[in-house]
Structure 1
């Protein structure tokens, strides 16, 4: 036993030393390459000019294949070989009767190539990239700039005047990646056998309920599905285009998953099969079989996973039954393969700057922005600037367990004083290289929900005014430079954050400490960070937010809406449970909740904007969360030619500008199925 323990200890120590050595080599390579030597005086020339995100000049368009046009289609050479070998039906038989036509913005094809990408872990980051971003194929899809919807798996959708009934007509002839038809039965299986099956889902998503009643989902025919709500629900199309459950709705092939479900097979046999596969319950077996990691799960996405985690390089190959074409009848996607190399955050940046990704913005740290710009020529890429612009937002815990701190945090004068103490120009200059803009947490000015009175509320750097406001609150400044609470204790707080936000947060902590509010910064691992704020154990939390294009889908910063409303998780529980859980909020906060309920019911988008502006007005008056600097464009690395190592690779049909907000599932909203790659100059 002791020998085994010593061996195990030796293995652990050796692994740790190897990890440290690899990290040291990565840093040494970076510094020796000169990447870390950019003089501060030169940073200004590297920063992209501010640009108004009016629209994308290079973007795809969507249309339908004319029914009178002959069904003459072409396919990738790799698939032609499989057809010739008798392993696949001809392309015209694989494509639907109503293929969706994607017009590329720059060029047709060519077929082939490998889209190289990087991921920071084998779980969440890979899932986000593969399933919810690149694999973004809902019934209706957000357009490139997030301003409207495009037909996708649904060729048509109809809503009644009261916004209580929605009918989606599915695209005729679409097939799963195994060649089986996609029909209304697949959506009914998702709803009846997953969402409504309590052994799998104990509480259906709130977005599928109105008036305390779950939506009714009905099959009208093989290609038509009706959703009926008990109350008007004007936001439903937005959720169909954005929600995680909407991905599951079109990612649950009934013909495949029924063999793992007790409604369709013998329960005892299913449990035995689950144990044989290493599972204690049939539920965990079922979830594994419908997981994005399962190469055997049929898909409707352009690429299907063929080498899943725990491989360090995860691979997705083209779906031979993908249901979109270009205007010339070429079956999409153009690109054969996507690879995801799993690495750490620092190595990801080093490899991106070395030209080892084809197109990517996820995981690119703003701390490395000047170097990313500097290395464009040697790395064989260009940096495009997409619309995002979210900034660090700090939320005091208005539900704090400490009565004295809770009383102070809930006084709007305290929050406004903290805002005036922040030197946003300094943050912009030091942490964001001058590319941002001092703003509160507010929707993007390019959004129909933009409300500039909130964006500019209380952002002036005025330490004297801030100090006077705290004096007025009775928070006297003691000789040690720290103010005192009403019970005589020093006024101290900690801002909890993750590593990616630390530069801004440390500056804010300095500003507040100068004011006499002793502020520490706690940088935490993701799991601990989320566990503490979910339990309302934090003093304050710093996350990234604001600058939304469509804030009504994720209004967590503007009212206590969900578990991510870090300013008041107990009030959010009260809102989500309709008063059954959590804690009742004060009147002004309840006003925001009432206004949001009205937005959910409003069928008219103009009325939705009007009501949300009233929520934003209340935020400007109360400053429930405190913004810092926003507006910095999202850097996107796109290979565009030769690099210093003699490798040539150029990506085509990637838009010059696009909305990157999570709800738009970028780059999925830019039709990555029409991206293409050339590997020789002049090709």
Structure 2
């Protein structure tokens, strides 16, 4: 991994207990939008009980708002790295690999099979719409159980002994998942780098669903977005793992603002992000990520010559000596980190063959 010493902002994604604050600091990045009335005040954009990240408790100094980070990617599909870098999850790991609520305000587990999730009051998607239990109901009833979208039935990660859960909407902010047998890995699946999905922004996605949209409007949307049918349209517009749709609301720290194809993808800070630091600064500290598309073969060379501020993709241990030598000439720092993959070689069968 390569980091430029000139990069001052931190990616704060550590999970610590939250506490209430009387005032919060809005990033200057949104000053113009606030003055034009395009964005409400910071107190109206944060949840009533935001997630507080205590940087000093981690042995780090709190950061400051501002700055952009450049990264190099080998192609459009590599924007999938951003949801991993964001690491906003219903529950997530801290630096000791202990689970804590993140997007959730709290959760309760009984018998390893009954999971009750409580959302944060006032938590909003990046477009300002409310995050509620309706987003969970919509995903389950209208997407996961819809055979035109999920032809093989509900996602396998939500099955226990091949049986789906009973999902109850308790109230506007509370939802419960119950399986007949224990599901001890459920929270770990929600905290994974590529997590099990339980919700979608229903207010936005309903326009692409045959249950909520007229056939005439759907036909126009299908043609406009170059898909074959309404289910293909819904899948394309709802893709969260590879956020190619700039209009799709997100809960991540940074949101994509660029439609593909493009040579540079700009991710800007989410004005409704739910975390603050101990000084009341809304996170993230960084304003933007600039993902520049280049050839995979020259990522290491461009990184060494200063074209990247943060680079953890497209580099190999074989580049280590070359990059360490570049430390002598450029203000960069080379760090080694452990890989989590069990193997760097895999055989993948073609699952799409007719």
Of the structure 1 ranges 180-189 and 354-363, higher mean CA displacement relative to structure 2 is found in 354-363
Residue of structure 2 equivalent to 1:332? 283
Give yes or no for the alignment of 1:205 onto 2:155: yes
Q: Which of the residues 182, 205, 221 maps onto 1:273?
A: 221
- Provide the rounded CA distance (Å) in 2 between the counterparts of 1:389 and 1:305: 27
SS of the residue 2:86 aligns to: coil
Shift of 1:138: 1.5
TM-score (norm 2): 0.87
**Contact conserved, 1:59 with 1:144, CA < 8 A, in 2?**
no
Give yes or no for the alignment of 1:130 onto 2:85: no
- Provide the rounded CA distance (Å) in 2 between the counterparts of 1:59 and 1:241: 12
**Contact conserved, 2:50 with 2:275, CA < 8 A, in 1?**
yes
- Provide the rounded CA distance (Å) in 1 between the counterparts of 2:300 and 2:340: 20
Give yes or no for the alignment of 1:195 onto 2:195: no
Q: Which of the residues 286, 293, 300 maps onto 2:234?
A: 286
**Contact conserved, 1:308 with 1:315, CA < 8 A, in 2?**
no
Give yes or no for the alignment of 1:171 onto 2:120: yes
Residue of structure 1 equivalent to 2:348? 530
**Contact conserved, 2:222 with 2:230, CA < 8 A, in 1?**
yes
SS of the residue 2:29 aligns to: helix
- Provide the rounded CA distance (Å) in 2 between the counterparts of 1:341 and 1:287: 26
Residue of structure 2 equivalent to 1:181? 130
| Change over 3 Å in CA distance of 1:214–1:370 after alignment to 2 | same
Residue of structure 2 equivalent to 1:158? 108
SS of the residue 1:213 aligns to: coil
Residue of structure 1 equivalent to 2:299? 348
Give yes or no for the alignment of 1:320 onto 2:271: yes
SS of the residue 1:210 aligns to: coil
Give yes or no for the alignment of 1:371 onto 2:319: no
**Contact conserved, 2:86 with 2:254, CA < 8 A, in 1?**
yes
Structure 1 or 2: larger helix share?
1
For CA contacts below 8 A with separation 6 or more, give which structure has more relative contact order.
Answer: 2
Residue of structure 2 equivalent to 1:102? 53
- Provide the rounded CA distance (Å) in 2 between the counterparts of 1:325 and 1:134: 17
Q: Which of the residues 65, 69, 73 maps onto 2:19?
A: 65
Residue of structure 2 equivalent to 1:445? none
- Provide the rounded CA distance (Å) in 1 between the counterparts of 2:343 and 2:112: 36
1:20-39 equivalences under 5 Å are none
1:58-97 equivalences under 5 Å are 60=14, 62-66=16-20, 69-70=21-22, 72-97=23-48
SS of the residue 1:117 aligns to: strand
- Provide the rounded CA distance (Å) in 2 between the counterparts of 1:190 and 1:294: 18
Unaligned runs of 5+ in 1: 1-57, 394-496, 499-528, 536-683
- Provide the rounded CA distance (Å) in 1 between the counterparts of 2:166 and 2:246: 32
Q: Which of the residues 238, 242, 258 maps onto 2:192?
A: 242
Q: How much is the aligned-residue C-alpha RMSD, in angstroms? A: 2.3
Residue of structure 1 equivalent to 2:261? 310
Shift of 1:376: 1.6
Give yes or no for the alignment of 1:118 onto 2:72: yes
Of structures 1 and 2, the larger Rg is shown by 1
**Contact conserved, 2:71 with 2:309, CA < 8 A, in 1?**
yes
| Change over 3 Å in CA distance of 1:234–1:531 after alignment to 2 | closer
| Change over 3 Å in CA distance of 1:269–1:59 after alignment to 2 | closer
Unaligned runs of 5+ in 2: 1-11
Q: Deviations over 1:193-245 (max 9, x none)?
A: 11111110022222211122111211111111101112111111111212745
**Contact conserved, 2:16 with 2:94, CA < 8 A, in 1?**
no
**Contact conserved, 1:253 with 1:298, CA < 8 A, in 2?**
yes
- Provide the rounded CA distance (Å) in 2 between the counterparts of 1:267 and 1:97: 40
Residue of structure 1 equivalent to 2:248? 297
- Provide the rounded CA distance (Å) in 2 between the counterparts of 1:293 and 1:59: 23
1:509-658 equivalences under 5 Å are 530-531=348-349
Count of matched residue positions in the alignment of Structure 1 and Structure 2:
334
- Provide the rounded CA distance (Å) in 1 between the counterparts of 2:341 and 2:142: 38
Q: Which of the residues 148, 164, 168 maps onto 1:214?
A: 164
SS of the residue 2:210 aligns to: coil
SS of the residue 2:223 aligns to: helix
TM-score (norm 1): 0.47
